[in-house]
């Protein structure tokens, strides 16, 4: 088996406010998530990949910046008709068993290695589904199984009464016979799951169950805060302690732990950096700033003097002055004025809810600041309450208190601000 299909054509609507591009194009440690996915496939001797993208072709454009040994073919899903339709577009190119996965599976090497082992014991035409235990069965397709044989997949059940809570992780090993069963089912948003159930009944699907938790092996990305555990996986497995060329480190700077500093970055007097931490090319870390554990700054980011950051992810060309940013994610080109405060803990210390697509979602996190979309600007002394999301292309005036989500392209101003 040396072929794989990567599905990267969806609208990434639950990834708002970071979904101006497909979610697999979000950057961590200097590369988009789909690059990490492809690199893992390459390490597992996959030779050819078919990437299904939208008509925007944003995935294809981004990957042109990188070199990989894989042969990559791009197909276009003109309308967002679901996973089954996207996969069906590849039917004429696949004559042998193949893998299927999403573009954000940065642990692809580890997963594919496990599935290859299980494939050796399959009977003719049988397939595989990679599964993990979950605490949130209502977010996933859930697996009913008996002794490793999959009996049924139930899509996002409101109530799950099975003893085992095993989710579908979106990673499969199928054979071309699957397309025959897809043609038989009614075409609707859940037709992929319907086809899998029919395939399981007629040909057989086996479970590859991972004992690793969702935190240890992040196989999915639905909401923006899921990026934290993906970042943790990359830091644990791929972060190097290294200072590249032409880096300026001024007097009395303290570096602790595993830290990567990209070429051309400047760190000014009395700054403190605590790893693990990734700092990309041409960044600036101001005097007396404190960069605490688990920060990821992509290229051309600026952290101002007297600024504290903790467990944050900044995309390219972000800047902030003094203040505190904790457990937060910034899209590209976000600019923040002085004395920013991201409140990241509830007063009652309970888990934080975030509103996505008009639904309140329990993040299962007791620390979560804000997520800010691309090209948004915040004035000085802005305070953002825990779990509030700010859309792209917004303008937030000084002294604002953000206690609700802010829609994209909003000009937000307190009533008492004046003219």
Same domain, 316 and 408: yes
163-212 per-position pLDDT tens digit: 899 999 999 999 999 999 999 999 998 999 999 999 999 999 999 999 99
Phi first, then psi, for residue 195 (nearest 5°) are: -65, -40
- What's residue 284's pLDDT? 98
- pTM score of the predicted model: 0.94
Domain's final residue, options 206, 234, 262: 234
| Residue 254: domain span | 243-417
Q: Mean per-residue pLDDT for 375-396?
A: 97
- Report pLDDT for 418: 52
3-state secondary structure (DSSP) of residue 415? helix
Average pLDDT, the chain: 95
Q: Tokens standing for 262?
A: 């990209």
Q: Given this model, what pLDDT does residue 416 score?
A: 61
Asked if pLDDT for residue 419 goes beyond 60, the answer is: no
Is residue 205 located within the same domain as residue 293? Answer: no
The three-point CA angle 157-158-161 to 5° equals 75
Q: Which residues contact 330 (CB under 8 A, 6 or more apart)?
A: 312, 313, 314, 315, 318, 336, 371, 372
Q: Let me know whether 252 and 187 are in one domain.
A: no
Nearest 5°: CA angle at 280, between 277 and 283? 105
Domain boundary at 214, 234, 254, which?
234
Looking at residue 338, which CATH number applies to its domain? 2.160.10.10
Average pLDDT over residues 69-82: 93
> Is the same domain home to 29 and 103?
yes
Number of separate domains in the chain: 2
**Looking at per-residue confidence, does 359 or 308 come out higher?**
308
Q: Does one domain contain both 228 and 292?
A: no
User: pLDDT tens across 289-333, in order?
Assistant: 999 999 999 999 999 999 999 999 999 999 999 999 999 999 999
* Residues 304 and 332 reside in one and the same domain: yes
Shared domain check, 169 and 249: no
Taken in order 145, 150, 151, 154, is the CA torsion positive or negative?
positive
Give mean pLDDT, residues 393-400: 97
Separation of alpha carbons 28 and 230, rounded Å: 9
**So what's the pLDDT on residue 80?**
86
Same domain, residue pair 290 and 172 = no
Q: Is the CB of residue 63 less than 8 Å from the CB of residue 76?
A: no
Res. 236: pLDDT tops 60: yes
| C-beta separation of 290 from 272 below 8 A | yes
CA 64 to chain centre: 20
* Domain match, 266 and 223 both: no
Does one domain contain both 220 and 289?
no
Read off the CATH number of the domain in which 183 is found.
3.90.550.10
Same structural domain for residues 301 and 402? yes
pLDDT for 343 beyond 80: yes
pLDDT exceeds cutoff 90 at 15: yes
């Amino acid at each position: 088996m040396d072929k794989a299909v990567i599905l990267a054509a969806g609208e990434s609507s639950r990834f708002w406010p970071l979904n101006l591009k497909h979610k697999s194009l979000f950057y961590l440690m200097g590369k988009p998530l789909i690059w990490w996915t492809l690199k893992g496939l390459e390490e597992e001797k996959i030779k050819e990949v078919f990437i299904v993208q939208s008509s925007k072709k944003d995935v294809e454009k981004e990957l042109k910046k990188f070199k990989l040994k894989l042969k990559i073919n791009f197909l276009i899903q003109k309308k967002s008709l679901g996973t089954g339709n996207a996969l069906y577009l590849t039917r004429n190119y696949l004559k042998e068993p193949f893998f299927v996965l999403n573009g954000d599976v940065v642990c692809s090497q580890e997963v594919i290695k496990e599935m290859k082992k299980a494939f050796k014991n399959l009977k003719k035409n049988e397939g595989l589904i990679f599964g993990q235990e979950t605490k949130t069965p209502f977010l996933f397709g859930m697996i009913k199984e008996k002794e490793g044989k999959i009996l049924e997949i139930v899509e996002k059940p409101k109530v799950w009464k099975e003893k085992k809570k095993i989710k579908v992780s979106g990673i499969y090993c199928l054979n071309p016979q699957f397309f025959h069963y897809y043609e038989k089912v009614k075409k609707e948003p859940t037709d992929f799951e319907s086809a899998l159930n029919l395939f399981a009944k007629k040909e057989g699907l086996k479970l590859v169950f991972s004992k690793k938790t969702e935190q240890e092996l992040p196989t999915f990305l639905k909401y923006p805060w899921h990026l934290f555990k993906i970042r943790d996986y990359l830091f644990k497995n791929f972060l190097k302690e290294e200072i590249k060329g032409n880096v300026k480190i001024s007097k009395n700077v303290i570096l602790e732990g595993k830290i990567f500093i990209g070429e051309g970055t400047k760190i000014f007097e009395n700054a403190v950096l605590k790893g693990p931490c990734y700092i990309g090319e041409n960044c600036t870390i101001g005097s007396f700033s404190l960069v605490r554990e688990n920060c990821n700054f992509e290229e051309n980011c600026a952290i101002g003097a007297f600024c504290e950051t903790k467990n944050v992810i900044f995309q390219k060309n972000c800047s902030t002055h003094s203040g505190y940013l904790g457990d937060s994610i910034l899209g590209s080109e976000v600019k923040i004025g002085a004395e920013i405060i991201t409140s990241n803990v509830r007063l009652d210390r309970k888990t934080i809810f975030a509103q996505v697509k008009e639904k309140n979602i329990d993040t299962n996190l007791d620390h979560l600041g804000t997520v800010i979309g691309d090209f948004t600007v915040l004035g000085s002394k802005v305070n953002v309450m825990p779990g509030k999301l700010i859309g792209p292309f917004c303008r937030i005036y000084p002294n604002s208190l953000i206690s609700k989500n802010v829609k994209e392209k909003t000009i937000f101003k307190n009533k008492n601000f004046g003219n």
